[in-house]
Amino acid sequence: MFNNNEFKVIYDLIKINDLKEANKLLIKLRNSFFIHPDYLFLMSLLLSKSNKIYLSIDTLLLSLKVDNTIEIIKKHGYENSSKDLVEERYILLILLLKKKNLLDLVFMLEEAMKKNDPANFLVHLEEVMPGIRLKNKL
């Protein structure tokens, strides 16, 4: 699922609720991977386990945006997320959006998943959530 073994270790730690150790490792990797879509997914997963739902949603949305912005992927020498990881990210995002009763976004995201094309969803997000713009990351 992960192209980076360190990410796999962190993922496993989060899954067994060893959040302190996972956080230590995420901090260690921050300088090299601060905008990597898989790193952002792991941060979001950690935030969701810590009940920081809105921060988790924002981080997941940024992860989705980065994974679909070729310029950032190329600039930093990253690879896109695996298909399995993209699906897990969508599932977590839908779960969190439902928790906060953001059903319009849930519907849009489910449609994006069906079409395997997040373009309309991402355009809508830029309109309603200006915090996920990436101009300063390019």
Q: What is the mean pLDDT of residues 35-50?
A: 96
What pLDDT does residue 138 have?
Answer: 46
Instruction: Say if residue 132's pLDDT is above 60.
Output: no
Locate the domains of the chain by residue range: 5-137
pLDDT bracket for residue 133 (50, 70, 90): low
Q: What is the DSSP string of 47-92?
A: HHHTT-HHHHHHHHHHHHHHHT-HHHHHHHT--PPPHHHHHHHHHH
Give residue 113's pLDDT: 83
Task: Supply the pLDDT for residue 86.
Answer: 87
Q: What is the mean pLDDT of residues 98-108?
A: 91
The pLDDT assigned to 30 comes to 96
pTM: 0.87
